[in-house]
Amino acid sequence: MRNRSNNGRPEGSQTTPKAETNPARARNEYGESIQAEAKKRSRRSAKPAAVEGAEGAPGTAKTSAPKPRRQAPKRTTSEVGVQKSETLQEKPAPRAPRGRKRVDPPAAEAAASAEPKELQPPQKSRTGSPTRRAPRAANAPQAATQKSQDTRRRRAPKDTKPVQDGTVHHRGPVVRMVRNQEGHNEELIIQNNSDKDAVRVIPLGGLDEIGKNMTVIEYREEMIIVDCGLKFPEDEMLGIDIVIPDVTFLEDNLKRIKGFFITHGHEDHIGALPYILKKINVPVYATQLTLGLIEIKLREHGLFDKVRLHVVKPKDVINLSHMKVEFIKTNHSIPDACALAIHTPAGMLIHTGDFKIDLTPVDGDVIDLARFAELGTQGVLGLLAESTNAERPGYTQSERTIGRNFEKIFLGAKGRIIVATFSSNVHRLQQIAQAAVKMGRKCCFTGRSMENVVGVARELGYLSIEDRHIISVDDIKRFRDDQLCIMTTGSQGEPMSALTRMSMGEHRRIKIQPGDTVILSSHPIPGNEKSVSRTINYLYKLGAEVIYEAIEDVHVSGHACQEELKLIHALVKPKYFIPVHGEYRHQKVHSELAQTMGIAKENIIIPSNGDVIDLSQEKGIRTLGRVRSGQVLVDGSGVGDVGNVVLRDRKHLSEDGILTVVATIDSESGVLIAGPDIISRGFVYLKEAEGLLENARRMVQRLLIEAEGDRFKSVDFLKNNIKEELKNFLYQRTKRKPMILPVIMEI
């Protein structure tokens, strides 16, 4: 409880099940229906229907044929209402076993139906026929929502004059602090959206930060969540592995959430899913590769058979009670990225996801600009567009342009080639592999995420490299240096990654040697510059030739620059605009860009995480209040149990070390029996400080002996006394403040 309140959660909020990484335990906390669901599935001894669908497409890509497009049987709008589970089973192509050659690289690309295909919310049943109501299933853990019912009944204030910046982060419904007539602060409770003519946007992450993207769209009693990403910790978050969004608001509104709609498979969009699905087990909708990457995570967390995954394709529409969610093809530095059009009776929202406009993408699949234009003609109420590159003028280069550069570099390389890049940039890997094969080099993939992604991407047909061109890292000794191209993780200088270990000579199988050419095909994410630079220095010192962004064009961005953003604005012509995905300065520049495109200033809001933004044709775009948002720190298997106090302790320890005092006293008489002994770590160099510690020990001994006669002094008092005296003593002599831990044993 203590740690939770450190996280800003008020006491008494125990209704919510705590996140559990132990699957066995966690399952009990999900609530009955989840268990039932899981049982049902295991009885069927098959994967959930939708996931079968995900794998039901033409199987392993072993041919060097063009990337196949997974087309479900063409449907027309007359089939609206077909149950998803059925449609998926209708699919003609059964799952090809791993390793089988795909005979028919579908030439069906032209057959892509112009009509958006509509799907009902997928439903689960034993037989695959639509028997159960999906919303019921979506409501699995209900206990956590009871509180919101109670809090909603609270009294509304008499005076609604808002206090300056009076919004508060709070559990339960949207709350704003207002000052009543007596001048006291009171809570004004903003009811859930009941306005038929308004749709709400509530970003829970991704604003004024890079990472943990998550946005809630609310229309009446329905909510959907766009993306569920993680963020990498900042320097001062010692020992923290990842940071995920605080989803208290979602837990309080569990019944209303219809699903996660994921735009693409980058960590800042899917990384928090395995943690948050443990609390909010609602269906996940995403395209095939995105789901493939999500699956890897769910398996690692033992959640795979507990989550309902639904594969969608661009142009698919998911019909909810009020909202319809349409997936629109975009380009990005990962295949299968989509924007979302969210149709509501109050108007349409478009969320771009991360995108660029690549007119010559490696897979030939250009962003569906025509659909953006069509929707623009129909009238778009609000546009949420990413802002990552809003400061950069011009256009982002096509991914294809760097393929040629790789060939050029490969031609000049005499020894091994080692390329570090993001494993999720499948098209980059494809181009590197093509260059390698062309030069008669074998492809070797190393690093855990690289191996995972390459496996999934090849299996699903997004990456086509023939088996004979791939070797395992154990086999590299059997080939000459000029026959090797090693693709590895670590382009961001991540401490445990394969490239970093190579640069420090700690990789078990790959030792960097003179003659090696190492290419860093990436751009350091803000905050990683130092470690990338260190890696480059180490590689140079080991004698390698190092090629990186500053030297050659070996990287292009996956995000839209100004001209591309403008094009989307011009096509979509939204009434209101919300810049998302970026630091505040990116959002700000993007909002100015939108104004040059004719959107009135009052029709733009630059929100913060947690803001409740109301969009309505009549009433304009307004910030109504704020819901709780924030970050939850994940340290190993502990989710949210490391709060500010733990972090402060870690910082304290890292700066001045620790000093433990151990003594044993008689519990009756208080007489000192043994000790005191002083043990220190990270405080002073022991050999030189023996005198200091001996003096400290004598001081503590004196305190203990002085206290012997005084039975009224409790052990706690004694400990505090020792701590204080020792702190002053050590500070006077060393100007340091180590953490002091007195341990007094009574026997």
Residues near Zn ion, by CB under 5 A: 266, 268, 354
For residues 268 and 368, which CB has a smaller minimum distance to Zn ion in the complex?
A: 268
For residues 167 and 425, which CB has a smaller minimum distance to Zn ion in the complex?
A: 425
Residue 275, SS3 per DSSP: helix
Q: Say which residue the tokens 């919310």 belong to.
A: 121
Give me the phi and psi of 616, to 5 degrees please.
Answer: -145, 140
For residues 229 and 382, which CB has a smaller minimum distance to Zn ion in the complex?
A: 229
For residues 304 and 422, which CB has a smaller minimum distance to Zn ion in the complex?
A: 422
Shortest distance in whole angstroms from residue 354 CB to Zn ion = 3
Shortest distance in whole angstroms from residue 457 CB to Zn ion = 16
For residues 338 and 684, which CB has a smaller minimum distance to Zn ion in the complex?
A: 338
For residues 587 and 664, which CB has a smaller minimum distance to Zn ion in the complex?
A: 587
Helices first, then strands: H and E counts in the chain:
22, 30
Strands 611-616 and 620-626: antiparallel
Shortest distance in whole angstroms from residue 333 CB to Zn ion = 6
Q: Say which residue the tokens 């795979």 belong to.
A: 304
> Which amino acid, 18?
K
For residues 227 and 641, which CB has a smaller minimum distance to Zn ion in the complex?
A: 227
Q: From edge to edge, which strands make up the β-sheet containing 638-639? A: 242-245, 631-635, 638-639
Rounded Cα gap, residues 51 and 88, in angstroms: 9
For residues 268 and 399, which CB has a smaller minimum distance to Zn ion in the complex?
A: 268
Rounded Cα gap, residues 454 and 622, in angstroms: 45
Longest CA pairwise span in the chain (Å): 94
DSSP 68-104: P---PPP--GGGTT--HHHHHHH-SSPPPPTTPPPS-
Could you give the C-alpha distances from 338 to 177, 286, 290, 333, in angstroms and in order?
38, 9, 10, 12
For residues 585 and 736, which CB has a smaller minimum distance to Zn ion in the complex?
A: 585
Shortest distance in whole angstroms from residue 581 CB to Zn ion = 6
Half-sphere exposure at residue 515, Cβ-oriented, CA atoms within 13 angstroms? 10
Q: Which residues are registered as beta bridge partners of 602?
A: none
Shortest distance in whole angstroms from residue 388 CB to Zn ion = 7
Shortest distance in whole angstroms from residue 516 CB to Zn ion = 30
Alpha helix positions (H), 353-392: 369-378
Shortest distance in whole angstroms from residue 134 CB to Zn ion = 29
- Return the H-helix or E-strand segment holding 296: helix 288-300
Return the closest-CA partner of residue 344 out of 369, 370, 326, 368: 326
Shortest distance in whole angstroms from residue 246 CB to Zn ion = 19
Rg, C-alpha atoms of the chain:
29
Shortest distance in whole angstroms from residue 268 CB to Zn ion = 4
Shortest distance in whole angstroms from residue 470 CB to Zn ion = 26
Give me the phi and psi of 143, to 5 degrees please.
Answer: -55, -40
Return the closest-CA partner of residue 300 out of 419, 492, 448, 131: 448
Rounded Cα gap, residues 21 and 462, in angstroms: 32
Shortest distance in whole angstroms from residue 495 CB to Zn ion = 22
For residues 186 and 354, which CB has a smaller minimum distance to Zn ion in the complex?
A: 354
For residues 266 and 297, which CB has a smaller minimum distance to Zn ion in the complex?
A: 266
Shortest distance in whole angstroms from residue 597 CB to Zn ion = 23
Could you give the C-alpha distances from 141 to 17, 49, 155, 244, in angstroms and in order?
9, 22, 28, 21
Rounded Cα gap, residues 204 and 188, in angstroms: 21
Shortest distance in whole angstroms from residue 264 CB to Zn ion = 6
For residues 116 and 271, which CB has a smaller minimum distance to Zn ion in the complex?
A: 271
Q: Which residues contact 650 (CB under 8 A, 6 or more apart)?
A: 238, 239
DSSP state for residue 646 in the 8-state scheme: H
Rounded Cα gap, residues 729 and 77, in angstroms: 81
10 Å Cβ neighbour count for 412? 9
For residues 212 and 416, which CB has a smaller minimum distance to Zn ion in the complex?
A: 212
